[in-house]
Amino acid sequence: MVPLTGHPTGPALVPPGRAASVAAELGALFDVDGAALLGERAALTGRGRAGRVSVGGGTRLLPLARGWAAVACARPDDAALLGALVEQELPEHDPWPRLAAALRTMPPSVFDERAELLGVAGGSVREDPAPTAAPTVDGTARDLGGRLVVSFGALWAGPLCAQLLGTRGARVVTVETPQRPDAARWGEPRFHALLHAHDRSVQLDPATDRAALQALVRAADVVIETSRPRALQRWGLDAAAEVARGATWISITASGRGSNRVGFGDDVAASAGLVARDADGDPVLVGDAIADPLTGLTAAALALTDPGRLHDVAMSAVVAATLDGSPGGPATGPVAAPRARPVPEGTASAAGADTAAVLAELGIAWPC
């Protein structure tokens, strides 16, 4: 985390709070170095700190009329959404200069309201975040040998949660739809393999395979989802009903199941207040999409220690809970480079490669 925080030509910065310590404590439940997990994507991509630009390049910190905002532009239609946010057309190839100029006159409250309404991934940066309670991880780790985990997670937090449960013996099935495959498939292939090499890939179309999709969820001991609740409700999937029969339901969102906010790892962390300060006192981004691995670790720990419940895991709350008031500052000693766990041999399954086999093993009729 430290080597990924600060300006590229300046010193590495120690972020405020205790995110690395929290990650280490959670990682111990899975016999992994939780603190190292925070930087393992960057270890594989080779990217480094970039100040107010995220390590991955898709998020930036931009000044508002008061304070700063963290704004992501990573999806194909984000330039159009950002144009609607500032009520002007932005060039798709580089929206940042005109966006930055427009945001300098926008108050934080207006930015946050518009971003949530439009589905823009972003939020104003909390200047003095108050301590926030994280989901409580307090229980006995259970045996997951043979338990079925059905994950609708994409990108990082959800897949990491599922992968960690797999290290404790769970059988992991990742579900994608033809309309929305996991965008991480087009990212760093070794990172995708690290998260998915040992799970099985099922692809089902909710328009034609709804009965099979519902049967797969009913067979699961743990369900992981990273979309807003109404998305799965449209498919006839009911979290409360699955929990009532004894399943564990992990719901990972930017700001909780009751919020419409959209967010990714970098903008959620910054808006929650996890930013470092440069020599001028201005914010810089911390780590590489740090809310993602922190949330993945937290969600996996909840599934492992507190089964049979619906866990509403808000990425913003997970991050805010690490801000205990301890300050950051320039690193004073040697800074180790990010490192990743060994990447499994081979690659992850192609999308849907295991659909027929998984459903047959579970006795689910398909195609219907």
In a shared domain, residues 250 and 278:
no
In a shared domain, residues 163 and 98:
no
* Confidence check: pLDDT of 121 > 80: yes
* Confidence check: pLDDT of 131 > 70: no
In a shared domain, residues 238 and 354:
yes
In a shared domain, residues 228 and 349:
yes
Domain assignment present for residue 101? The answer is yes
Per DSSP (E only), the strands in 167-245 are: 171-176, 200-203, 222-225
Integer Cα distance of 329 and 12 in angstroms: 9
CB count within 10 Å of CB 170 equals 24
Q: Please, which pLDDT band fits residue 235 given cuts at 50, 70 and 90?
A: confident
Please report the pLDDT score of residue 140 as a whole number: 73
The closest of 182, 147, 149 to 249, measured between CA atoms, is 149
| Single-letter amino acid, residue 72 | A
The closest of 64, 16, 12, 33 to 337, measured between CA atoms, is 12
Domain assignment present for residue 44? The answer is yes
Cα–Cα distances in Å, from 199 out to 188, 219, 241, 248? 18, 16, 25, 19
Number of domains in the chain: 2
Please report the pLDDT score of residue 27 as a whole number: 94
Domain assignment present for residue 106? The answer is yes
| pLDDT tens track for 271-288 | 999 999 999 999 999 999
In a shared domain, residues 191 and 223:
yes
Please report the pLDDT score of residue 332 as a whole number: 83
Please report the pLDDT score of residue 76 as a whole number: 81
DSSP secondary structure, 27-66, as one string: HGGGTS-HHHHTTHHHHHH-----TTB-TTSSEEEEE-SS
In a shared domain, residues 248 and 264:
no
Domain assignment present for residue 143? The answer is no
Rg (CA), the chain: 20
The helix (run of H) or strand (run of E) holding residue 339 is none
Rounded mean pLDDT, 12-21 = 93
β-pairing verdict for 248-253 and 310-314: parallel
In a shared domain, residues 179 and 215:
yes
Instruction: Note down the domain range covering 164.
Output: 148-254+343-361
**Which are the contacts of 34, defined by CB distance < 8 A and separation ≥ 6?**
22, 23, 24, 25, 26, 27, 28, 297
In a shared domain, residues 14 and 121:
yes
In a shared domain, residues 86 and 230:
no
CB 112 within 8 A of CB 85: no
Q: Please, which pLDDT band fits residue 174 given cuts at 50, 70 and 90?
A: very high
| pLDDT tens track for 334-363 | 888 899 999 888 788 888 899 999 999 999
How many whole angstroms from its chain centre is CA 52? 19
In a shared domain, residues 122 and 156:
no
Domain assignment present for residue 335? The answer is no
Q: Please, which pLDDT band fits residue 65 given cuts at 50, 70 and 90?
A: very high
In a shared domain, residues 190 and 280:
no
In a shared domain, residues 220 and 275:
no
pTM for the model stands at: 0.94
Convert 176-191 to b/e letters by CB count within 10 Å (16 or more is b): bbeeeebebeebbebb
Integer Cα distance of 254 and 268 in angstroms: 7
Rounded mean pLDDT, 46-65 = 95
Segment among 20-34, 94-108, 142-156, 322-336 with least mean pLDDT = 322-336
Segment among 71-75, 115-119, 243-247, 353-357 with least mean pLDDT = 71-75
Domain assignment present for residue 132? The answer is no
Assign residue 216 the CATH number of its domain: 3.40.50.10540
Integer Cα distance of 14 and 41 in angstroms: 19
CB 160 within 8 A of CB 292: yes
Q: Which residue has the tokens 């949330």?
A: 295
pLDDT: which is higher, 11 or 231: 11
